[in-house]
A and B are shown apart, each in its own frame.
Chain A
Amino acid sequence: MCRIGAIKSKVPFHPSQALRLMLPQQEGHDNSGFAMVMQDLDGVFAGYKDKPLLSLACTAHGAKLAEEYMKAQNFVRDFEWVPKIDRRPGLDIKAMPLYMFRCYDYPEEYQNVSWQEKEELLLDTRLALRRLLEKDDQGYVFSFWPDVLTLKEIGDPSDIATYFRLWDDNGELMAKNVVTQCRQNTNYDIVRYAAHPFFIQGYTLCANGENTFYTKNTEYQRSLHRGYNGFESDSQNFLYTLHYVLHELKWPIKYFKHVITPLPFSEIEKRPDNKELTAIRQSLAHLEINGPNTIIAMLPDGRMMTCCDSKKLRPVVIGGDETTKAIASEVCGLNVVLPNRNPELDVYPNEREVVVITPELEVQRWKQ
């Protein structure tokens, strides 16, 4: 069982806030890991917002392989931040030997190309590094994208935070958006790539639940896009569908919900847009999800979105104040990070609802 959470703020904050959001909910998750994606960075990364940032956990040999590959591709390293590790004994963490966060300059020949071409280059580079490091378990590449940092590790979340000194609010690691989860478990094997949130080309997503259409989603997504791979978790299906609908098909955001949890035919019939909704339902039938699920997504433009399965079998709540909003599976998380908010304004979206938090912290909600 998972719990998921996200914080979005007008002022940069430290990842310890994300941990404070999640730890009160720990009865609901198994404390088997910690993962977060930070976007709109500040602190040491404030000056490198336009440079693609590689988030890497690896062995020494893996680091060498990655370095050689990046060099061969003409990426030039501009900045590196290595977390200062607290190696005190007794911490519950299955750490990799090295963690690196490196900002690069684009290769010379990509300096003046369109953003679309850069997007493809960044994806292909991440996929190539993943393939390279996968052999003999030499490392994990979680994201390679400007202004996005990903950290994932196996162990107890508060011990992982101690290990990476995430509790020390020293101003180095700061961001305006964090999406996070405290579980590293696929129900089967422990795989670092299986920890939410997942990331592709600026889209971040984590899910709480069980997608029972995993097999049919996966079989369809495999042939949709070269970037749809891994499938270590049934929640990756949500990310790839989000990316497909918004980035590939370029459909407006409201149609994502119509794809994953289409309305029953009897309801579609009564709507003025029934032709469009029917066409979507039949052409994207294999991207429909089923089972109990709640998702939190972060879009490239900084918007955050949350919605549930069609029966609302997993809870989620959104609350906040003028400067900070947070999304969490349980309200106890919000009570810790935002104790002074007005809880009467908290939003508990229903099974048909989509809630979006804009970069201006406006909370938009609509029914599908």
Chain B
Amino acid sequence: METIKTLDITFNDLNWKIEYSPERCTMCGSCVAVCSFQAIEAGVERHSKTVSTARQPEPVQQHKAVPVIKQVNGLANACVGCGMCEKVCPNRAIKPVRNENTRAGVLGRSGGTPIKRGGRNNLIKDNTLDKIVVGRISQMTDPSLDAERHTFDILAPFGRVLTPGELPFSTAGGELKLNSSTPPVNWIYPLIFSDMSVGALSTRAWEAICIATAYLNEKHNMPIRMCSGEGGMPVQLMKSEYLKYSIIQIASGHFGWNRIVKALPDMKVDPAGILIKIGQGAKPGDGGLLPAAKVAEHIQAIRGVPKADLLSPPNHQGLYSIEESVQKMHLSLNAAFKFRVPVAIKCSASATSVSVYNNLLRDPYKICGGNEVSLDHTGHPVVSKVRDCYQAAVKQGRQGQIPLWAGGGIGLTGNAAADAFKMICLGANGVFISKLLIQLCGCVGNEHGRCNACNTGKCPTGICSQDHRLVRRLDVDKAAQNIVEYMLAFDMELRKLMAPIGNSSLPVGRSDALVTTDKAMADKLSIQYAC
């Protein structure tokens, strides 16, 4: 008999238990083959069985060695609840079940290492945006529009916008003439495919998002832009016409910038923008770190790095103030693209985001445009932070000068259009989505601890892995199609939200259209309380 000690880790200590019905199992092996975490294995158990082999029923009880699928004991191979075994099982013989008596939170730090997880927040239980509804419905004298028939101007600025008094206009013959150039501003769709780097995502997942971006632009005339993330970009893409749909990100690690700079002379078109990341919501967690397991050969080439854990430094080396970063980084990036490409800043939603935003608003160079504010025990909810930033601009009469783009939790419950619409009414010019994209590519993770293994390189859907065998699981075309179809629906849903409030252009800052049944939220966001 096998000896078990009380301190041994067994499957009932883990977050997920495998529920297995040997009588339904044909031992086809599909579940074991598909489990990228090696959380299950084939084994033999001694079962008590009642058998009858004669022509007449002659039941006899026997002890027999039976082949079975067993959950592997131990933290290293813990089941993450991804459910791939259940998905592939032809006989519904196996599935993971959440273990409510899990001890993983206590045992998971064995070996002195912190618990690592993928980029999901599993602490906040309710969604702020779902507590806000569009309370303003046009009626009678203030007619609503027709989402199908009317035309809507669904575009948002990306770039620095000057105050009216700063526009270099002269008047002649009743006409205004722009005398000199102004900072570049691109009017794009108010939703950006957020910055998930080539290292974080698999080649196929990245390709699927690229294909969807190009398809939405070229076939559906939706000017969607995709942000590269910090890890650089494939050179082939940088030298192609499709670069115009990309926003290139630079962060403190400067990963991939050697190649980007070298590709500059060969770029046929300008990118849609440059995004300087000075902070990100996931940074204090395990986001912002690319584990060595995911630094495959092609990632090393694109980033120009050795195979090792890649952590962006917490700050940009040599920059100690917003003013300094404006002078050094913004100017050099603006100059690199001859002041034709808007350069924006991404900062994390944090206690300090408003001060970052104020510094940008007041920057005397007027060259930075666009600001994105985007964790378990760290980080700041994004909704009130965007509102705070907008209200800081209102106080100074500078709203719209540095467009606000909000990321983090948009589409968390699947309704990205409603979330985006509410963020826009609160003052955002547009939103970023990322998790939603990988969910459309097949990610099964959720905010309740399911999977969340993006950091392990063992993504069971081939989205967040560089392992060739796993990456092949992702159907690029189907993933791209899912994204395209979601975005077409998003666009129609946005119209259907704009129509009843009677607005044909985006209601940026139209907080009077929103109500909430939560008094504290109403006070914090300065929107109407309703009950």
Please determine whether A313 and B143 come into contact, CB atoms closer than 8 angstroms: yes
Report the separation of the CA atoms of residues A244 and B508 in the bound assembly, to the nearest whole angstrom.
Answer: 21
Point out the residues of chain B lying under 8 angstroms from A291, CB to CB: 138, 142, 502-503
Interface assignment of A324: CB less than 8 Å from any CB of chain B = no
Please determine whether B400 and A285 come into contact, CB atoms closer than 8 angstroms: yes
- Kindly identify which residue among B153, B174, B187, B399 contacts A286, using a CB–CB cutoff of 8 Å: B399
- Kindly identify which residue among B138, B141, B151, B509 contacts A219, using a CB–CB cutoff of 8 Å: B509
- Kindly identify which residue among A209, A215, A282, A311 contacts B511, using a CB–CB cutoff of 8 Å: A215
Q: A252-B174, A276-B178, A291-B142 are in contact. Are A220 and B508 (CB under 8 A)?
A: no
Point out the residues of chain B lying under 8 angstroms from A278, CB to CB: 185, 187
Interface assignment of A71: CB less than 8 Å from any CB of chain B = no
Question: How far is the CB of B455 from the nearest CB of chain A, in Å?
Answer: 40
Question: How far is the CB of A56 from the nearest CB of chain B, in Å?
Answer: 31
Please determine whether B174 and A254 come into contact, CB atoms closer than 8 angstroms: yes
Q: A215-B512, A290-B503 are in contact. Are A252 and B178 (CB under 8 A)?
A: no
Q: A212-B501, A290-B502 are in contact. Are A285 and B171 (CB under 8 A)?
A: no
Please determine whether A283 and B164 come into contact, CB atoms closer than 8 angstroms: yes
Among B153, B174, B507, B512, which residue has the most Cβ atoms of chain A within 10 A? B153
Question: How far is the CB of B395 from the nearest CB of chain A, in Å?
Answer: 8
- Kindly identify which residue among B165, B178, B187, B503 contacts A249, using a CB–CB cutoff of 8 Å: B165
Among A224, A275, A283, which residue has the most Cβ atoms of chain B within 10 A? A283
Interface string of A270-293 (1 = CB under 8 A from B): 000101101110111110101110
Report the separation of the CA atoms of residues A163 and B167 in the bound assembly, to the nearest whole angstrom.
Answer: 51
Question: How far is the CB of A326 from the nearest CB of chain B, in Å?
Answer: 24
Interface assignment of A250: CB less than 8 Å from any CB of chain B = yes
Please determine whether B142 and A276 come into contact, CB atoms closer than 8 angstroms: no
Point out the residues of chain B lying under 8 angstroms from A311, CB to CB: 145, 150, 504
Q: Which residues of A190-239 have CB atoms within 8 Å of chain B's CB atoms?
A: 209-210, 212-216, 219-220, 222-224
Please determine whether A249 and B397 come into contact, CB atoms closer than 8 angstroms: no
Interface assignment of A110: CB less than 8 Å from any CB of chain B = no
Please determine whether A252 and B165 come into contact, CB atoms closer than 8 angstroms: no
Report the separation of the CA atoms of residues A273 and B509 in the bound assembly, to the nearest whole angstrom.
Answer: 28
- How many residues of B sit at the interface, in one of the four size bands? 35 or more
Please determine whether B510 and A213 come into contact, CB atoms closer than 8 angstroms: yes
Please determine whether A279 and B178 come into contact, CB atoms closer than 8 angstroms: yes
Q: Which residues of B219-258 have CB atoms within 8 Å of chain A's CB atoms?
A: none
- Kindly identify which residue among A219, A282, A313 contacts B399, using a CB–CB cutoff of 8 Å: A219
Interface assignment of B75: CB less than 8 Å from any CB of chain A = no
Report the separation of the CA atoms of residues A1 and B162 in the bound assembly, to the nearest whole angstrom.
Answer: 37
Point out the residues of chain A lying under 8 angstroms from B165, CB to CB: 248-249
- Kindly identify which residue among A216, A244, A276 contacts B176, using a CB–CB cutoff of 8 Å: A276
Report the separation of the CA atoms of residues A244 and B163 in the bound assembly, to the nearest whole angstrom.
Answer: 13
Interface assignment of B468: CB less than 8 Å from any CB of chain A = no
Please determine whether B171 and A212 come into contact, CB atoms closer than 8 angstroms: no
Point out the residues of chain B lying under 8 angstroms from A310, CB to CB: 504
Report the separation of the CA atoms of residues A265 and B509 in the bound assembly, to the nearest whole angstrom.
Answer: 20
- Kindly identify which residue among B155, B167, B174 contacts A279, using a CB–CB cutoff of 8 Å: B167
Q: A214-B512, A223-B397, A264-B151 are in contact. Are A283 and B502 (CB under 8 A)?
A: no
Question: How far is the CB of B390 from the nearest CB of chain A, in Å?
Answer: 9
Point out the residues of chain A lying under 8 angstroms from B511, CB to CB: 215
Q: A249-B164, A264-B153, A265-B187 are in contact. Are A216 and B510 (CB under 8 A)?
A: yes
Q: Closest chain A residue to B142 by CB distance? A: A210
User: Nearest 7 CB-CB pairs, A to B?
Assistant: A223-B397, A210-B142, A216-B509, A215-B512, A252-B174, A283-B164, A219-B394
> A212-B138, A220-B397 given. 13 additional CB < 8 A pairs?
A210-B142, A212-B142, A216-B509, A251-B169, A254-B174, A264-B153, A265-B155, A279-B169, A280-B176, A283-B162, A283-B166, A290-B502, A311-B504
17 contacts between A and B (CB under 8 A): A210-B142, A212-B502, A212-B510, A213-B503, A216-B510, A219-B399, A220-B399, A223-B395, A255-B176, A262-B505, A273-B176, A276-B178, A279-B167, A279-B169, A282-B187, A290-B503, A291-B138
